Amino acid sequence: MSTVPARAARALALLGLVCALCACSSVKELISRESSNAIAPTPLAEDFKPTIQVDSLWSKRIGKGSDQHYLKLTPIVADGTLFVADRHGHLIATELESGKVLWQIEDETVQYTGGPGSGDGMVLIGTGDGRVIAREADSGKLRWVAKVSSEVLAAPRARDGVAVVRTGDGRLYGLAAETGKQLWEFERTVPTLTLRGIAAPVIDEDLVFAGFDNGRLVAVHLHSGKQIWDSPLAVPSGRSDLERMVDVDAEPVVVGTSVYVASFQGGVAALSIVDGQIEWNREISSYDEIAVGAGHVYVTDEEGVVWALNRETGASVWKQEALANRFVTGPTYFDGHIVVGDFEGYAHWLDAQTGELQFRTQIDKTRIISPALVASDRILIYSAEGRLVAMRPH
C-alpha cells in the first residue's frame, strides 16, 4: 500500500475508516503510524483578549454524547423544541429557553449512529443495524420502525409525506412518513475505502440533494426518487484507494437558486439547483459542514483553517489559521459571527466579515465534533460527552 498523503492522514486519524475490500489490519497499522507522526495542534494564544461578550444562558449534560465513536450526533431544533440523542439509545426533547426535559426515551435495544432529524410532525433517527425510528415530535410516541439496508450515519429528513434516509452502503431511501413503507430507492456505488461519515440529505421543495462517497452530488425528485441531475464535485486520482477518496460528507446548503457543498480531497463548489452545473469551484478539501451567510460561504478545511469565500464567485475573502490542526468543526454562521469548536472543548467566535478571533470559552474538557446549532436568538454547542451549552452574544 502506498504512503498516505499528509492531508489524508489528518482525516484518517480523526474520522476512522469504513473498510470494504481492503484489509482492516493494514488500515489500522497505517492509521497508527501516521497518528504517531501527527502535526502538533496550534497552541491557543495566552494573551488573547476577547472583543465581544458572550453569555452562557444555560448548561447541562444531556445523554452520553458519542461515547468516543466519532459520531456526529448533532442536536436539532424543530417547532421550538430541541432534540438530542446519544449512542446508547437516549432520545431527549428539551425546552429551548431553559434546557428543561419535556420527554425522553431510553431504548437499550438500539445504538443510534446518526443525529435526529425532523419533519411532518416527527423526530426521526437511525441506528447501527439499519433501522429508522419515527416518533411523534410532541410526545415521543412511536409512529413506526422501518428497516433499511445498512447503518444510518446521518439525520433522516421528512417533508410532504416522504421521509428521506441516507445509508452507509450508498443508498438513498424515500419512506412514507405515515407508515415507514418504502416508496423508492436510489443507489450509487460505494468506493473501496471511505471516510466514516455521511452527509445528511437536504430537502428543498420537491427536490432532495444528497452527496455520495464517489465525489458526486445528486438531485432526485422527493416523491419518486427519479434522478434530476448528477454532478461530479471531485474526480478520484492517485494510485492508492486512500489517495482516491473524494467523499462528500458535508451537508449541502441551498440558498436561492444555488446549492453549496464541499468534498474531501476535492473542493468547495456552488452548483445550479436547476441542472447541477458548477457555477464555481475552489480546491479546498473539507470533510465537515459548511455555512452560508452575509454574502459568504464559510468552510473549515482538513487542516483546521477557517475560510470565507465570496458566495457569488468563490473568491477568498479571508482565512483564519490560528486554529490549524485543532480538529476544528464545520463553521456555523450566527448574527454576524462564525462559531467553531475544537478537540479540547473550546468554542471559538470569529467576526464573519474579517475572520478576527473575538471570543473563546471551554464548554467541556472533551472534544466538540458537531457544528454549533442556531436556535432562534441563541446558539447551542454540544460536546462529545454530552455537555450542551446555550450561548448568546451581547
pLDDT of residue 110: 92
Q: Convert 232-259 to b/e letters by CB count within 10 Å (16 or more is b).
A: bbbeeeeebbbbbbbbbbbbbbbeeebb
Given a contact cutoff of 8 angstroms between Cβ atoms, the answer to whether 38 and 9 are in contact is: yes
pLDDT of residue 216: 84
For 6-393, give the CATH class: mainly beta
pLDDT of residue 66: 56
H helix count then E strand count, the chain? 2, 34
Domain ranges of the chain: 6-393
- Give the H/E segment covering residue 10: helix 6-15
**Which long-range contacts does 127-133 make (Cβ < 8 Å, 24+ apart)?**
127/151, 127/152, 130/167, 132/156, 132/163, 132/165, 132/175, 132/180
The Cα 266–Cα 275 span in angstroms is 20
CA 311 to chain centre: 20
Q: What is the side-by-side order of every strand in the sheet holding 373-375?
A: 54-61, 387-393, 378-382, 373-375
Question: Over the stretch 66-102, which tens digit does the pLDDT of each residue have?
Answer: 545 557 788 999 988 999 998 889 999 999 988 999 9
Question: Over the stretch 335-358, which tens digit does the pLDDT of each residue have?
Answer: 999 999 999 999 999 999 999 999
Nine-digit cell at 125?
433517527
CA 305 to chain centre: 17
DSSP state of 266: S
Q: Can you spell out the DSSP letters for 356-393?
A: -EEEEEE--SS---SPPEEETTEEEEE-TTSEEEEEEE
pLDDT of residue 13: 47
pLDDT of residue 197: 59
Flag residues of the chain having pLDDT under 70.
Answer: 1-38, 64-70, 191-197, 234-246
pLDDT of residue 215: 81
In this structure, what are the phi and psi dihedrals at residue 298, rounded to the nearest 5 degrees?
A: -110, 135
CA distances from 203 to 26, 271, 273, 285, 301 (A): 39, 16, 12, 24, 25
